[in-house]
Chains A and B, each alone.
Chain A
Amino acid sequence: MIPAAFEYHRPKDMAGVLAVLTQYGDDARVMAGGHSLIPMMKLRMADVPHLIDLQSVEGLGGISVADGVVRLGAMVTQHDIIDSAELASAAPILRETSLQIADPQVRYMGTIGGNVANGDPGNDMPGLMQCLDATFHLVGPDGERTVAARDFYESAYMTAREDDEVLTAVSFAVPQGGYGYVKQKRKIGDYATAAAAVQLVKENGVCTAASIAMTNLSDTPVHSVAAGDALVGTSVDDAAIKAAVQAMLGDIDPAQDNRGPVEFKRHAASVILRRTIERAWSRA
């Protein structure tokens, strides 16, 4: 498995990145940790004449929690997330999710930016970002703009990011209440058969806010407003969970693959979602 030849660019700043993107258009592609892109290049399923390595670009790293907002630079790795005491207290769901991505070596290289930007429905962070109602920060020739994570994904590998834009950071309000990220997979290193991200706020035994999203059950991550609504105002009892699951089943559209047929995936989705809601509620 040998990739085709390419020109390599390692700019030091965003202007340099944008200059290469502008110059080469479709022929150029940015790369963070490379653990999604490089295997595709090695299988010659991705043709990248100009590769822009973001590792030296200033300002793409860093985790900050300030004024109730969490901000992660695009180059923050899953390992950084797992290692961050600040995040563990501000948004523990991030750590719980990161620990279920790939394996230790891949997590040293895999970045939040790469994971959310490439639009692979198998990636876990996009679903989590739906749940957290995150904001994606993009920089392009016309400057910076933001896109809500919930508006970002169009279909598999197709996103709201323009070809000449770079995703530089994600941010979201410090999540409130109980959380859970539960993932069924065949083994370490696998994508989800079904995975769910849930944040629930409990006040006096009643759910006052709920955000629910799932991974790898459609060609985009699935944020189900209806599933969350089904829990709000309830004590998250069996009937409410059933309703939430039912709502989610209306929003997912899984495809058959080696993990199993559609019918199984729908069942797994319902079981995993129920467990995630129960876990989040127990922590709320």
Chain B
Amino acid sequence: MSKKMHITLKVNGEEQEFLAEPRELLIHTLRERLGITGPHIGCETSHCGACTVTLNGKSVKSCTVFVAQADGADITTIEGLGSPDNLHVLQTAFKEHHGLQCGFCTPGMITRASKLLEENPNPTEEEVRFGMAGNICRCTGYQNIVKSILAAAAEMNAVKEAAE
């Protein structure tokens, strides 16, 4: 065991302060220390994306980030994207278009998709497939995930247009 560090994080808008070993992986910090169990552990080698969170505006695989690296960071997980009374458009779209089955990849998938649509609000199917290629799903074959994301994009654009 090494010396513990004083860590400060902002997670889903809430300030968090604690002592942790620098080697603690961010995914474990979120899941075990803070009880934020939406992000999951799938592969542990940064291939599957189940642990995806948004860290300082980037989609990041939290299994491959030490908590020490994240000290001072602003983090959003699936729990911070929407609330039961105010779901994110993607959360609704995934349900509407059957974009999930076992649900294990879903939090990472939706969190990544939210960033993708932020950067590219009007993606083609090919761009969605390429932009989501860091997230593995074993159940759906992706067809309905792609459909869900494209539908969410259309919905978000329609809302934006109506507002303008």
Chain A interface (Cβ within 8 Å of chain B)?
Answer: 1-8, 10, 34-35, 38-39, 42-43, 51, 53, 55, 79, 102-106, 108-109, 188-189
Contacts and interface: CB of A to CB of B under 8 A. Distances in A.
Interface in B2-54: 2-3, 5, 21-23, 25, 44-47, 49, 52
A34 B23 contact: no
Contact of A106 (B21, B25, B46, B130): B46
Interface of B: 1-3, 5, 21-23, 25, 44-47, 49, 52, 58-61, 64-66, 68-69, 71, 112, 116, 130-134
Contacts of B134: 102-106, 188-189
Contact of A108 (B21, B59, B69, B130): B59
A3 B23 contact: yes
Nearest to B56: A108
B153 to A, nearest CB: 16
Contact of A53 (B1, B59, B68, B132): B68
A109 B46 CA distance: 11
A34 B21 contact: no
Contact of A35 (B2, B5, B46, B112): B46
Contacts of B58: 79, 105, 108-109
Nearest to A110: B46
10 contacts: A8-B5, A39-B64, A42-B25, A43-B45, A51-B68, A103-B134, A104-B131, A106-B46, A109-B60, A109-B61
Contacts of B1: 5
A2 B49 CA distance: 18
B47, B60, B131, B132 — which one has the most chain A CB atoms within 10 A of its CB? Answer: B47
Given A1-B44, A104-B131, A7 B49 contact: no
A24 B25 CA distance: 24
A103 B135 CA distance: 9
Contact of A34 (B22, B69, B133): B69
Given A7-B22, A39-B46, 16 more contacts: A1-B44, A2-B25, A3-B25, A5-B1, A34-B64, A34-B66, A38-B66, A39-B45, A42-B25, A43-B45, A104-B59, A104-B133, A105-B61, A105-B112, A108-B60, A188-B133
A53 B73 CA distance: 14
B64 A6 contact: no
Contacts of A35: 46, 64
Nearest to B53: A105
A2 B63 CA distance: 10
Nearest to A50: B2
B28 to A, nearest CB: 9
Given A1-B44, A7-B3, A8-B22, A105 B49 contact: yes
Contacts of A1: 44-45
Contact of B69 (A39, A55, A103, A189): A55
Given A104-B134, A188-B133, A189-B47, A51 B61 contact: no
Nearest to A189: B47
Contacts of A7: 2-3, 22
Contacts of B49: 103, 105
Most central of B60, B69, B112 by chain A CB within 10 Å: B69
Contacts of A38: 46, 64-66
Contact of A10 (B21, B65, B68, B112): B68
Nearest to B22: A8
A109 B52 CA distance: 13
Nearest to A5: B2
Contacts of B47: 103, 189
Contacts of A108: 58-60
Contacts of A55: 69
A234 to B, nearest CB: 36
